[in-house]
Amino acid sequence: MKTDGVDVVIVGAGPSGLTLANILGLQQVRTLVVEERDTLIDYPRGVGLDDEALRTFQSIGLVDRVLPHTVPNQILRFFDAKRQLLAEMAPPDARFGWPKRNGFVQPMVDAELFGGLERFGHVEVRFGHQMRNFVETDDGVLVEFADGRDPVRARYVIGCDGGRSATRRLMGVSFDGTTSSTRWLVVDCANDPLGHPNSEVGADPVRPYVSISIAHGIRRFEFLIHADETDEQADDPAFVRRMLAQRVPHPERVDVIRHRVYTHHSRIAASFRKGRLMLAGDAAHLMPVWQGQGYNSGIRDAANLGWKLAAVINGHADDALLDTYDVERRKHARAMIDLSTTVGRVISPTNRRVAALRDRVIHAASVVPSLKRYILEMRFKPMPRYQQGAVYHGEPSSGNSPTGTLFIQPRVDTRDQQNVLLDDVLGAGFAVLCWSNNLRAVLGEAAFDRWKALGATFVAARPMTQLHWTGHDDPDVTVVGDRTGALKKWFDVNTDSVLFLRPDRCIAGACIAQRAPETSESLFDVLCLTQGGGHGATRPVLYVAQPTAESSGTVAGSP
């Protein structure tokens, strides 16, 4: 691919950048990823994937490649100093189509994201490319590199270059927050010396610890380093063995992949967008590890930003749509930072009296069924709910509109397929979905045609008893049968019956059937959608996991 001019330059080939590149690649956006390292990072870092991240990987056709590197339905138990169970997280439902908690090996998943780019001749990755500067103009950004490499002109630049982001620094954006005074020794081991599939946190005031099963026989241990212990001491192999001796009978036999000292940061960029420059992943926010949401938050950034960038670049939306990225992602990232910071404070006190008081409070709460479910099912995890941004709330028909939340993803039947995930029917772009109704008649011809011009998928959900009834058949509407009953249950609770779904499966607008035409009209304004189209104005194709001859391209600089 010629890169004297591209649509998007992504700085950083980490998970956020690679996911974003796959999203843009599927939408025919010319993309260049530049990474200052010579290869992908090959050691374990993040260890937990959530259901939203797996849903995003599904949307880019790579989930089947990612799943072999995961431990699904991972249980996390919290113990006190006496090894009494404080709390357990084993969320049972999979409302978004995937388990809520999954251990995973990040280098292997990142490699699958990188390999997915081989499908696209219009996406390139260059390793050993360090961005030095950029110059923003009225119609683009000139990206300059170190070592005299030729500059590249792009319409937009996205900084996915980590907590020490050069992009953020060059943007002049502050990174507000705190760095914890506590330090942790992180030890990754091959040939898991414990071997069981789940994970635990020891809230022991003598020395709090973490033990996490990842996948492929890898286990992570984390140990709090006391204030009187130096980083140099913690780096000593003898110190590492002493820590491991607290958890395994033969620490000298443990196959250590690596060990490092970490501090936990709670920081967020003052702005995620500045003109044609944007931030995602760790460049935009850092959070403690306690909820395993650092990696997942970066994937959420990519899912939120990717479709918006593609819509603007392909001529479907005005540039103002990109302002909603900061509006939507900032509040949720802040909530995740606060939750992770709070959990860390609960887990890691070394004062025995404070720890004993904590234990009594948690044990008391565990006998209350509603509080126990609250913890067990991870209901405390803040879910995205957008009050502002690329959503239209209008006049909800009930006091609890689902607008701004993620729609569920149950398994459904079509007339051609059985037991498929709903997103695989909805496709990669916008979708309009209704419950057991004539969607064209409900929308009206004008609104129907506008969404069709955008490449939207139209879906009419029905009870299974009506799946093969042909009374409302329309060549542009896909009929799905509510195989599990989850769709009817959702519509039983939410009286809005027509849903306008964004490509990231957030509900952009919802209404009763009679309000569909005016809700549609308002959404075109809120989403900054246009009638025209750019160089990629045809409907994008949702690629499957295996590249085809037509979509196969090259990824320059493969490690």
Across 286-314, average pLDDT: 88
User: What's the pLDDT score for residue 374?
Assistant: 46
**C-alpha closest to that of 203 among 84, 340, 348, 387:** 348
Is 276 known as a binding-site position? yes
With contact defined as beta carbons under 8 Å apart, do 199 and 211 qualify? yes
10 Å Cβ neighbour count for 416? 7
432 φ/ψ angles, rounded to the nearest 5 degrees: -120, 125
Is 233 known as a binding-site position? no
Across 287-300, average pLDDT: 79
User: What's the pLDDT score for residue 412?
Assistant: 98
Is 118 known as a binding-site position? no
Task: Determine which helix (DSSP H) or strand (DSSP E) holds 59, and give its type and residue range.
Answer: helix 51-59
With contact defined as beta carbons under 8 Å apart, do 305 and 504 qualify? no
Is 225 known as a binding-site position? no
Quote the CA–CA distance of 105 and 536 in Å, as a whole number: 35
CATH number for the domain spanning 440: value is: 3.40.30.10
Confidence label for 450 from pLDDT (cuts 50, 70 and 90): very high
In a 10 Å sphere around its CB, with 0-12 CB exposed, 13-18 middle and 19+ buried, how is residue 170 labelled?
middle
More confidently predicted of 199 and 542: 199
Q: How far is CA 323 from CA 85, 308, 434, 484, in A?
A: 45, 10, 29, 38
Is 7 known as a binding-site position? yes
| pLDDT tens digit sequence for 307-340 | 999 999 999 999 999 999 999 998 888 887 777 7
Percent of the chain with pLDDT over 90: 68
| The pLDDT of residue 545 is above 50 | no
User: What's the pLDDT score for residue 290?
Assistant: 62
Is 527 known as a binding-site position? no
User: What's the pLDDT score for residue 376?
Assistant: 45
Is 15 known as a binding-site position? yes
Residue 245 resides in a domain:
no
| The pLDDT of residue 11 is above 80 | yes
Helix, strand, or coil here: 477? strand
Is 14 known as a binding-site position? yes
Which tokens go with 287?
């959070």
Residue 401 resides in a domain:
no
More confidently predicted of 308 and 42: 308
| The pLDDT of residue 6 is above 90 | yes
Is 74 known as a binding-site position? no
Is 20 known as a binding-site position? yes
Residue 124 resides in a domain:
no
More confidently predicted of 342 and 141: 141
| pLDDT tens digit sequence for 169-216 | 999 999 998 877 778 899 999 999 999 988 898 888 889 899 999 999
**C-alpha closest to that of 277 among 186, 170, 374, 351:** 170
Is 26 known as a binding-site position? yes
| The pLDDT of residue 535 is above 80 | no
Task: Determine which helix (DSSP H) or strand (DSSP E) holds 425, and give its type and residue range.
Answer: helix 422-426
Is 395 known as a binding-site position? no
Confidence label for 291 from pLDDT (cuts 50, 70 and 90): low
Is 18 known as a binding-site position? yes
> In total, how many domains does the chain have?
1
| pLDDT tens digit sequence for 368-416 | 566 555 444 445 556 778 999 999 998 654 557 899 999 999 999 999 9
More confidently predicted of 205 and 344: 205
Is 272 known as a binding-site position? yes
| pLDDT tens digit sequence for 121-164 | 999 999 999 999 999 988 999 999 998 889 999 999 999 999 99
User: What's the pLDDT score for residue 155?
Assistant: 98
Residue 431 resides in a domain:
yes
Is 132 known as a binding-site position? no
Is 27 known as a binding-site position? yes
Across 252-270, average pLDDT: 92
User: What's the pLDDT score for residue 51?
Assistant: 94
Quote the CA–CA distance of 440 and 444 in Å, as a whole number: 6
**Residue 509: how many CA atoms within 13 Å on its side-chain side?**
24
User: What's the pLDDT score for residue 147?
Assistant: 84
With contact defined as beta carbons under 8 Å apart, do 164 and 130 qualify? no
Is 530 known as a binding-site position? no
Is 164 known as a binding-site position? no
User: What's the pLDDT score for residue 182?
Assistant: 79
Residue 475 resides in a domain:
yes
Confidence label for 549 from pLDDT (cuts 50, 70 and 90): very low
Across 449-474, average pLDDT: 96
Q: How far is CA 19 from CA 13, 60, 62, 67, 109, in A?
A: 9, 8, 10, 16, 11
User: What's the pLDDT score for residue 555?
Assistant: 56
Centroid of chain to Cα 558: 25
User: What's the pLDDT score for residue 539?
Assistant: 35
Is 277 known as a binding-site position? yes
Q: What length is written for the chain?
A: 559
Is 140 known as a binding-site position? no
Q: What is the overall mean pLDDT for the chain?
A: 88
Cα three-residue angle 433-436-440, rounded to 5 degrees: 60
| pLDDT tens digit sequence for 349-368 | 667 777 677 667 676 666 65
Helix, strand, or coil here: 306? helix
Quote the CA–CA distance of 328 and 529 in Å, as a whole number: 18
User: What's the pLDDT score for residue 138?
Assistant: 86
Residue 159 resides in a domain:
no
Residue 451 resides in a domain:
yes
10 Å Cβ neighbour count for 516? 26
What contacts 24+ positions apart, CB below 8 Å, involve 463-466? 463/436, 463/488, 464/413, 466/436
Is 24 known as a binding-site position? yes
Across 426-454, average pLDDT: 96
Residue written as tokens 């929308």? Answer: 443
User: What's the pLDDT score for residue 47?
Assistant: 87
Cβ neighbours of residue 126 closer than 8 Å, sequence gap 6 or more: 32, 33, 34, 35, 556, 557
Quote the CA–CA distance of 152 and 157 in Å, as a whole number: 11
10 Å Cβ neighbour count for 261? 16
Cβ neighbours of residue 6 closer than 8 Å, sequence gap 6 or more: 30, 31, 32, 152, 153, 154, 155
Residue 34 resides in a domain:
no
Is 35 known as a binding-site position? yes
Quote the CA–CA distance of 348 and 397 in Å, as a whole number: 46
Is 417 known as a binding-site position? no
10 Å Cβ neighbour count for 452? 16
| pLDDT tens digit sequence for 464-491 | 999 999 999 999 999 999 999 999 999 9
Is 34 known as a binding-site position? yes
Helix, strand, or coil here: 261? strand
**C-alpha closest to that of 523 among 508, 539, 511:** 508
Residue 516 structural domain = 411-526
363 φ/ψ angles, rounded to the nearest 5 degrees: -65, -40
Is 502 known as a binding-site position? no
Q: What is the DSSP letter of 320?
A: G
